[in-house]
Chains A and B, each alone.
Chain A
Amino acid sequence: MIEGVTVRQAGAGDAVRGVLPRWVALPETVEEIAAVLRACAERDLAVVPAGGGTKLHWGPPPERCDVLLDLCCMNEILEHAAGDLVVRAQAGVTMDALAGTLADKGQELALDVPFSEGTTVGGTLATALPGPRSFRYGTARDLLIGITVVLPDGTIARSGGKVVKNVAGYDLGKLFTGSYGTLGVIAEATFRLHPLPADRRWVVAGLDRAEAAPAAAALAASQTEPSAIEVDWPDPAGPLTLAVLVEGTTAEARAAALRELTGGAVTRERPSWWGLIEGDEVLAEARFLPADAGAVLDEVAATGLALRGSLAAGRVLLTPCRDLAEDELAAAVARLRERARVHVLAAPYDGLDRWGQVSGLPLMRRVKERFDPGRRMSPGRFVGGI
């Protein structure tokens, strides 16, 4: 159908939130992505890009979806310049494969991913969900230094480059990071890397609800440079677990110092829940100022939601810890919005206000209109129905 590009008929398993595409395209190069998008533009076909598909059921259903652009075959690590602490990879490379290659040279991309398997570079960027170590290293947008994207009309565009320090031109990487496939297709990405830490320790402590926010604040204010400060609260009727990660040659000594603040134990073992999303049929993210963490916990206690994330960074993920009807979820979200920005990442309900107030929305609509005037890229899947 398009020369050189593998295209197959879609099957039931290819549906995006119940919307069945007609075809699945499997491009292997940036040029092939461009050819597919050009062909779709000619025919006014709507496209949803997909990486490993681990988060494809997040967000509202697309208004329409004719072609699922499966980037699984874009799976090459193009360049690992170890001496420059930089890697360039195609969008379909899995984060696991990337980590393996980088580890061979004693390096890592300091982005935590919430699923153990299948998550790709492109999907990680498109959803831009912060993980535990964003507390120290920043989020995807902070570690991305160059990007190649394909616009809905097939134009291939690059910005940034392969040097960390670079202020030439607009940073399209920032714009595409967290854009949920609504502006175009992320084809390749270049990241800054970090040396693998020589050693790691976690300090793990059980706390009551009232103790958690002050403990997180004390840890954040310490000079021991923790890499992450996370809590896990599987049941709001019970206690929380607080875990702090310390990385570096002197991790053991620094972890011991942090234990003075929290109690608990120092361990080499990553906590089993660390940075993971275990159920995401319903999933919400709350962002708040760290000083409001105590108030957020108080609100969550009344909702029937389990909480996991960072009180120190002011971002947590929420999932139901019991069956929660649509109206109960809506009420819980509305209540939490008094204290935090809450957006519902995933829910099988269509009536829900997923995003809440977004102050820059009119500008976002204008950006969408310029990049995707035909509304053919993942239409309706992002803020304000963009």
Chain B
Amino acid sequence: MDTLVAALRSFLPGDSVITDPVRLRTYECDGLTYHRATPGVVVLPGTAEQVARVVRLCNEHGVPFVARGSGTGLSGGALPREDGVLIVTSKMRAILEIDLPNRRAVVEPGVTNLAITEAVRDRGYYYAPDPSSQQVCSIGGNVAENSGGAHCLKYGFTVNHVEACEIVTPDGDLVTLDRMDPGYDLLGAFIGSEGTLGIATRITVRLCRAPEAVTTVLAAFESIEQGGQAVSAIIGAGIVPAAIEMMDALAIEAAEAAVACSYPEGAGAVLIVELDGPAEEVARQFARLQEICANAFELRVAADPAERAAIWKGRKSAFAAVGRISPAYIVQDGVVPRTSLPAVLAAIDRLSAQHGIRVANVFHAGDGNLHPLVLFDDEEPGAGERAEVVSGAILDLCIEHGGSITGEHGVGVDKSRYMPKMFSADDLDTMQLVRCAFDPRGLANPGKVFPTPRLCGEVPGVRKGVHPLVESGKAEQF
């Protein structure tokens, strides 16, 4: 490590190579604070060439590296390695090009998600994916995690909005992956690979035209079942809103305590539905939505951007707000088919009662993405363990219902142990082929996404000799 640090200092400015133990600890975790590791060394390169050089040095020294943007990830994807280099992109935050005629922008990876929208908003454009952390999370991190957000129901995820990436491969080469190029969709494979296939150093994103009209509705229901029925009815009516979000009574209580969002009192569930698009179309859909939500005891419509922000405030602050009603909590991220929502919510209720652990439900109801907040008191002996059990059992429920262990937070270190529950050994070995093609030495963010991956030299399932079908006489040589 010492020779590596000396080599890093030879081309990076003094303040861009951190070895001071106190400062290193600043980087010991990302948004998932449960997992911590002090990085061997932290570098803050300012250019793609510097990133490439750092990665080449890691190769020469056989040292693993981890990339980190703003560190807002919730699955420990940017958890450092004590024996490795943490490459932080926060000095690479230039918006390089705004190209409205081509509806795209070119940015460095450390640029925040919201900064892109802010740069083009007054000209009637925006960048669509909007994770809750959009004020601080970096676009490089969004690419690594394939981040979603409340509006991905209609507009899709990061992967649907990135046109090209310049990446530093795990070998240290600078390569551009571009949707315009023919060939394998390596860009599609790279986005969401959680830093295991390389580091994005320049990202070309698609800009969307701002919708002509936006209508945001808050519907309060007596029960979560009624809210769920409304969601099904909206989808059944052929409406694709920009967002459908739901919060249950406990989540509402937390949001009220934290940000006084003034949601209707006594609601068992609130639904936030946002319609956007051409004015006539939105008006027509809103009329239909009112019919569908006839049994809501209150229907609040935002009359202006300020009122829209007020409606969203409670939802966007929900995770942090839970701290007001519980000393500790686990944020879970799972997905179920939308039609399984009622059954899964009922099962979560039973789990909660059985283990004496409260669960606040906040979710992207339109696409079945649950974010249960599992609440516990970390002072109480055994409570943390019980919360872990409930949190894990919720993922099992998601898998049982044909869903996913993560909708947008990623696998990281947190969920790699669940991957074999969702995928077979053959599925995981096949994904590993992609990893080995990009990163044969396994130096790019090792230990994330996959549980104990096979080494790239090992070939799974090699058979020697005669095919069993031939041997048993059931097939013949042809």
Which A residues are closer than 8 A to B by beta carbons? 1-3, 7, 22-23, 35, 38-39, 42-43, 81, 83-86, 106, 128, 138, 141-142, 149, 151, 153, 155-159, 161-172, 174-175, 177-179, 183, 194-196, 198, 217, 220-225, 248-250, 253-254, 287-291, 314, 341, 343, 355-356, 358-364, 366-371, 382-384, 386
The yes or no answer to B181 lying at the interface (CB within 8 A) is yes
Q: Residues of A contacting B278 with CB < 8 Å?
A: 223-225, 248, 250, 254
Query: A384 CA to B240 CA in the complex, in Å?
Result: 41
Partner-binding segment picked from B86-94, B243-251, B292-300, B332-340? B332-340
Query: A369 CA to B438 CA in the complex, in Å?
Result: 11
| Interface hits, B19-53 → A, CB 8 Å | none
Known contacts A165-B407, A171-B159, then 13 further A-B pairs from the complex at CB < 8 Å, ordered by chain A residue: A85-B235, A142-B156, A142-B160, A155-B426, A161-B404, A168-B404, A172-B189, A225-B281, A250-B281, A355-B182, A359-B176, A367-B433, A370-B433
Tell whether, in the assembled complex, residue A157 and residue B427 are in contact, meaning their CB atoms are under 8 Å apart: yes
Partner of B467 from the list A39, A288, A355 (CB cut-off 8 Å) is A39
Tell whether, in the assembled complex, residue A170 and residue B186 are in contact, meaning their CB atoms are under 8 Å apart: no
Partner of B337 from the list A35, A151, A163, A355 (CB cut-off 8 Å) is A163
Q: Residues of B contacting A225 with CB < 8 Å?
A: 211, 277-278, 281
Quick one: given A138-B156, A174-B185, A364-B186, are A166 and B338 in contact (CB under 8 Å)? no
Tell whether, in the assembled complex, residue A194 and residue B240 are in contact, meaning their CB atoms are under 8 Å apart: yes
In the complex, what residue of chain B is closest to A361 when comparing beta carbons? B183
Tell whether, in the assembled complex, residue B426 and residue A156 are in contact, meaning their CB atoms are under 8 Å apart: yes
Query: A119 CA to B146 CA in the complex, in Å?
Result: 31
Query: A167 CA to B107 CA in the complex, in Å?
Result: 23
Query: A220 CA to B428 CA in the complex, in Å?
Result: 41
Chain B 202-246, CB within 8 Å of chain A: the 1/0 string?
000000011110000000000000000000100110111000000
Query: A224 CA to B189 CA in the complex, in Å?
Result: 33
Q: Residues of B contacting A382 with CB < 8 Å?
A: 183
Tell whether, in the assembled complex, residue A169 and residue B427 are in contact, meaning their CB atoms are under 8 Å apart: yes
In the complex, what residue of chain A is closest to B152 when comparing beta carbons? A165
Quick one: given A290-B102, A364-B184, A366-B438, are A153 and B209 in contact (CB under 8 Å)? no
Partner of A81 from the list B157, B339, B435 (CB cut-off 8 Å) is B339
Query: A178 CA to B428 CA in the complex, in Å?
Result: 22
Chain B 418-430, CB within 8 Å of chain A: the 1/0 string?
0100111011111
Quick one: given A162-B337, A291-B102, are A254 and B188 in contact (CB under 8 Å)? no
Partner of B175 from the list A38, A149, A363 (CB cut-off 8 Å) is A363
Q: Residues of B contacting A253 with CB < 8 Å?
A: 280
Q: Residues of A contacting B436 with CB < 8 Å?
A: 370
Query: A194 CA to B239 CA in the complex, in Å?
Result: 9
Tell whether, in the assembled complex, residue B182 and residue A358 are in contact, meaning their CB atoms are under 8 Å apart: yes
Tell whether, in the assembled complex, residue A166 and residue B434 are in contact, meaning their CB atoms are under 8 Å apart: no
Tell whether, in the assembled complex, residue B428 and residue A360 are in contact, meaning their CB atoms are under 8 Å apart: no
Tell whether, in the assembled complex, residue A177 and residue B424 are in contact, meaning their CB atoms are under 8 Å apart: no
The yes or no answer to B192 lying at the interface (CB within 8 A) is yes
Tell whether, in the assembled complex, residue A169 and residue B419 are in contact, meaning their CB atoms are under 8 Å apart: yes
Q: Residues of A contacting B212 with CB < 8 Å?
A: 223-224
The yes or no answer to B402 lying at the interface (CB within 8 A) is yes
Tell whether, in the assembled complex, residue B183 and residue A358 are in contact, meaning their CB atoms are under 8 Å apart: yes
The 21 sampled A-B contact pairs (Cβ below 8 Å) are A22-B478, A39-B467, A42-B466, A83-B232, A155-B426, A157-B424, A157-B430, A158-B424, A165-B369, A166-B406, A167-B411, A169-B428, A172-B430, A175-B185, A179-B184, A196-B238, A223-B211, A287-B180, A341-B180, A360-B178, A370-B433
Q: Residues of A contacting B173 with CB < 8 Å?
A: 362
Q: Residues of B contacting A141 with CB < 8 Å?
A: 185, 188
Q: Residues of B contacting A84 with CB < 8 Å?
A: 337-339, 368
Tell whether, in the assembled complex, residue A363 and residue B337 are in contact, meaning their CB atoms are under 8 Å apart: no
Tell whether, in the assembled complex, residue B438 and residue A363 are in contact, meaning their CB atoms are under 8 Å apart: yes
| Residue from the set A39, A341, A359, A371 with the largest chain B CB neighbour count within 10 Å | A359
